[in-house]
């Protein structure tokens, strides 16, 4: 039977009210008791707005923060801006915009904290300072990695003049610039390990082979695979200025070995430098 007219509309309203009462506020399970309504909310037949919103979208153009909901929105916006600024590859213009946003939000939060009485003000200020300190640490790390990437970029154009030791140093700086913690091993008795690297729980070993001519074959990679297993590493990186034979590439495809030759070195340096950076010319002998 079709439902028409005011009676149908009233039935639908009652159904929505019942569903809202069962669901409760966001983050609670269905059927949980609903929180007490605000004074005057009883009998209005609608969920309280406090059940729906805990923050409001941050408005970058607004001169100040005026409420707790706006404050929470500002903190959410700030945390996301910090993540984007220091965890993504960005152009220079994008970095500048995010730096400006972070400064503005921190300033507004500081001003809002000064207007609060009681313990709320110091609590907000401590929260703001924690993010500010995290930003300073991330900025220092980003600057250190940028300088390392720049040194690697300069050495890339001079690879044909490096010594084997200089090439190993170049590879170490390059791995640091792309986010690895690096421990230089090298020397006698290194068992084919020149560097130990780690990033986000991934442990790896690096072997550096500096030669202008020639091809790396599968026998060298088979020996390196034994070194990887013996060291308890997850992965091995075989880095060379030479090229790899087809058999070597096939062997590496079936084992935890990443092959890094001249062209791949160029790609890694560009990754470390980030988008929009000025690049030195590639070595002519690649």
pLDDT in tens, 244-285: 999 999 999 999 999 998 888 888 887 777 654 444 444 443
pLDDT of residue 93: 87
Q: In the predicted model, is pLDDT for residue 233 greater than 90?
A: yes
Task: Note the pTM of the prediction, 2 decimals.
Answer: 0.51
Q: What pLDDT is stored for residue 60 in this prediction?
A: 86
Phi, psi of 66, rounded to the nearest 5 degrees: -120, -5
Identify whether the C-beta of residue 265 lies closer than 8 Å to the C-beta of residue 259. Answer: no
Mean pLDDT across the chain: 78
pLDDT of residue 6: 52
Asked if 67 and 100 count as a contact pair (C-beta separation under 8 A), the reply is no
Count the neighbouring beta carbons within 10 Å of the beta carbon of residue 230: 12
> What sign for the dihedral angle of Cα 82, 84, 87, 93?
negative
Region 29-55 average pLDDT: 45
């Amino acid at each position: 039977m079709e439902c028409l007219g005011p009676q149908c509309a009233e039935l639908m309203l009652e159904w929505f009210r019942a569903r809202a009462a069962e669901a409760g506020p966001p983050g609670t399970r269905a059927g949980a008791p609903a929180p007490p309504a605000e004074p005057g909310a009883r009998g209005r037949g609608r969920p309280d707005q406090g059940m729906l919103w805990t923050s409001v979208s941050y408005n970058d153009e607004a001169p100040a923060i005026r409420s707790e909901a706006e404050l929470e929105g500002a903190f959410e916006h700030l945390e996301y801006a910090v993540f984007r600024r220091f965890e993504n590859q960005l152009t220079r213009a994008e970095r500048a915009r995010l730096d400006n946003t972070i400064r503005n939000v921190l300033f507004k939060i500081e001003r809002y904290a000064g207007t609060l009485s009681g313990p709320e003000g110091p609590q907000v200020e401590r929260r703001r300072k924690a993010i500010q300190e995290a930003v300073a640490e991330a900025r220092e790390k980003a600057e250190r990695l940028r300088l390392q990437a720049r040194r690697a970029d300069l050495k890339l154009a001079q690879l044909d003049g490096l010594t084997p030791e200089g090439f190993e140093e170049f590879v170490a700086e390059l791995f640091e610039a792309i986010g690895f913690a690096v421990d230089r091993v090298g020397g006698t008795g290194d068992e084919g390990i020149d560097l130990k690297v780690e990033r986000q729980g991934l442990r790896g070993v690096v072997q550096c082979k500096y030669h202008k001519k020639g091809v790396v074959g599968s026998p060298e990679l088979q020996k390196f695979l034994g070194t990887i297993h013996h060291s308890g590493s997850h992965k091995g990186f075989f880095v060379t200025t030479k090229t790899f034979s087809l058999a070597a590439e096939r062997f590496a495809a079936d084992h935890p070995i990443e092959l890094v030759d001249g062209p791949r070195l160029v790609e890694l340096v560009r990754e470390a430098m980030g988008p929009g950076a000025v690049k030195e010319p590639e070595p002519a002998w690649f």
